[in-house]
Amino acid sequence: MNLILFGPPGVGKGTQGERLSSEYHISHFAMGDILRAAVRDATQAGTQAKAYMDTGKLVPDDVVVSMIEDRIVTGETSGFLLDGFPRNVAQAEALDAMLERHTLDLDKIVFMDAPEKSLLERLSGRLICRACGFGFHRHYSPPRETGVCDRCGGELYQREDDREDVIANRLHVYRDQTEPLLAYYGSKPGFIRLDASGEVQVVYSALKEAVEG
Ligand code: AP5
């Protein structure tokens, strides 16, 4: 199964993408995580990407497109879930071209949405494990011990771009550049619009039902 999850920052793409990909044994390609790893490893792409990410702007298309194509081609044969890619119409067109080159299809394209108030609450309370990358939330899914990852004992931190001023810019960039994907994908076979405003488990059940339907 090959899937796309797209939607605004903080809507839960990473949270739901991780659950779904692990249940279906498919590769989870989270563009933000891939870029953050490149920044951490100081690769050429990471060095190029950092300034854009710190301010909430989109990293140039040529950088992200080649990073995704490498993974799709070498990924598991059981399928993939794209989370955070494509993020504008040019990237969606590039994805279509690469799927055609590798004779691959998309089974479902899921658009997740929630009210802006929820997005702000989710982003400003997010905590991530420095060691294993697992995500928590101060109020909605707090760790058992403050500042410590339940899974691996690693240190929890707040993402640089989860500061209030950067969040505002990310939401602006989303409305301006990513929302137009609704017109691009809205009439394609496999398009699903998912209300992601409920609790994590409620959203996950709806997502699974939609994807399996
Ligand atoms: P990226 O890391 O992809 O950020 P994003 O799209 O802004 O998405 P987030 O990771 O912030 O949110 P999410 O929807 O995954 O929510 P999550 O599940 O974590 O990208 C970062 C940057 O990289 C971009 O700004 C850009 O610079 C660059 N970039 C990435 N892709 C690119 C591309 N294709 N092209 C160019 N540049 C690119 O949940 C958030 C919080 O809410 C968590 O704490 C979670 O526990 C909690 N939560 C989740 N669901 C619920 C729920 N139902 N109820 C309550 N809490 C919930």
Confidence of residue 73 (pLDDT cuts 50, 70, 90): confident
Give the closest residue (by CA) to ligand 1 atom 27: 53
Largest CA distance in the chain: 48
Give the whole-number percent of the chain exceeding pLDDT 70. 99
pLDDT tens-digit series, residues 88-119? 999 999 999 999 998 999 999 999 999 999 99
pLDDT tens-digit series, residues 143-179? 999 999 999 999 999 999 999 999 999 999 999 999 9
**Predicted local distance difference test score (pLDDT) of residue 75:** 58
Strand 126-129 to 27-30 pairing: unpaired
The predicted model gives 38-63 an average pLDDT of 95
Backbone angles phi, psi at 94, to 5 degrees: -65, -40
**Predicted local distance difference test score (pLDDT) of residue 2:** 95
User: 10 C-alpha to center of ligand 1: Å?
Assistant: 5
Backbone angles phi, psi at 128, to 5 degrees: -125, 145
Confidence of residue 74 (pLDDT cuts 50, 70, 90): confident
Confidence of residue 141 (pLDDT cuts 50, 70, 90): very high
User: 50 C-alpha to center of ligand 1: Å?
Assistant: 16
Residues 79 and 94 sit within 8 Å (Cβ to Cβ)? no
Confidence of residue 213 (pLDDT cuts 50, 70, 90): confident
Q: What is the number of the ligand 1 atom nearest to the C-alpha of 121?
A: 42
Q: Is 178 near ligand 1, meaning CB less than 6 Å away?
A: no
Give the whole-number percent of the chain exceeding pLDDT 90. 92
Catalytic residues: 13, 87, 126, 159, 170
Give the closest residue (by CA) to ligand 1 atom 20: 32
Confidence of residue 77 (pLDDT cuts 50, 70, 90): low
Backbone angles phi, psi at 100, to 5 degrees: -65, -45
Which residues are within 8 A (CB) of 169 and not within 5 positions of it... i.e. 6 or more apart?
55, 56, 57
**Predicted local distance difference test score (pLDDT) of residue 72:** 87
Give the closest residue (by CA) to ligand 1 atom 8: 9
- Within 10 angstroms of residue 185's Cβ, the number of other Cβ atoms is 19
Q: Is 135 near ligand 1, meaning CB less than 6 Å away?
A: yes
At which residue do the structure tokens 């690469």 appear? 98
